[in-house]
Amino acid sequence: MIYVVMLFQSLLASGTHIVAKAVVTDVDPTTLTLLRSGLAGGILYVISILRGKPLKVDTEDRGMFLLLSFLGIPLNQFLFLTGLHASRPTNAALFYGATPALVLVFSVLLKKEKRSLMRLIGVLVAFSGILVVIFEHGFSVGAETLLGDLMLLGAVVAWTFYTVLGRDMITKYGPVHATSVTMVWGMAMFLPFGLFSAARFDYSSLTGTDIWGIAYLAIGTSIITYLLWYYALGKMAPSKVAIFANTQPVFTMILAYFFLGDVLTPWFLLGAAITLGGVLLTEIG
Q: What pLDDT was estimated at residue 138?
A: 56
Does residue 49 lie in a domain region? yes
Q: Minimal CA–CA distance to 249: which of 91, 17, 21, 93?
A: 93
Q: What pLDDT was estimated at residue 53?
A: 79
Residue 177 has pLDDT above 80, yes or no: yes
Distance CA 231, CA 243 (A): 15
Across residues 140-144, what is the average pLDDT? Answer: 57
Enumerate residues 6+ apart whose C-beta is below 8 A from 251: 10, 11, 14
Does residue 163 lie in a domain region? yes
pLDDT tens by residue, 212-235: 999 999 999 999 999 999 999 888
pLDDT tens by residue, 92-103: 777 777 788 888
Does residue 262 lie in a domain region? no
Distance CA 94, CA 246 (A): 9
pLDDT tens by residue, 21-76: 889 989 999 999 999 999 999 999 999 988 887 888 999 999 999 999 999 999 99
Q: Give the chain's mean pLDDT.
A: 84
Does residue 184 lie in a domain region? yes
Does residue 170 lie in a domain region? yes
Q: How confident is the model at residue 134 (pLDDT cuts 50, 70, 90)?
A: low
Q: What pLDDT was estimated at residue 158?
A: 94
Say what the pTM is. Answer: 0.84
Residue 81 has pLDDT above 70, yes or no: yes
The structural domain count of the chain equals 1
Distance CA 52, CA 56 (A): 11
User: Looking at per-residue confidence, does 257 or 231 come out higher?
Assistant: 231
DSSP 207-261: -HHHHHHHHIIIIIIIIIIHHHHHHHHTTS-HHHHHGGGGGHHHHHHHHHHHHT-
pLDDT tens by residue, 7-33: 888 888 878 878 888 899 899 999 999
Enumerate residues 6+ apart whose C-beta is below 8 A from 111: none
Does residue 208 lie in a domain region? yes
Q: Is 196 exposed, middle or buried (0-12, 13-18, 19+ CB in 10 A)?
A: exposed
Does residue 272 lie in a domain region? no
CA 1, 179, 218 angle in degrees (round to 5)?
Answer: 95
Does residue 64 lie in a domain region? yes
Q: What pLDDT was estimated at residue 273?
A: 78
Domain span at residue 75? 16-117+140-238
User: Looking at per-residue confidence, does 184 or 243 come out higher?
Assistant: 184
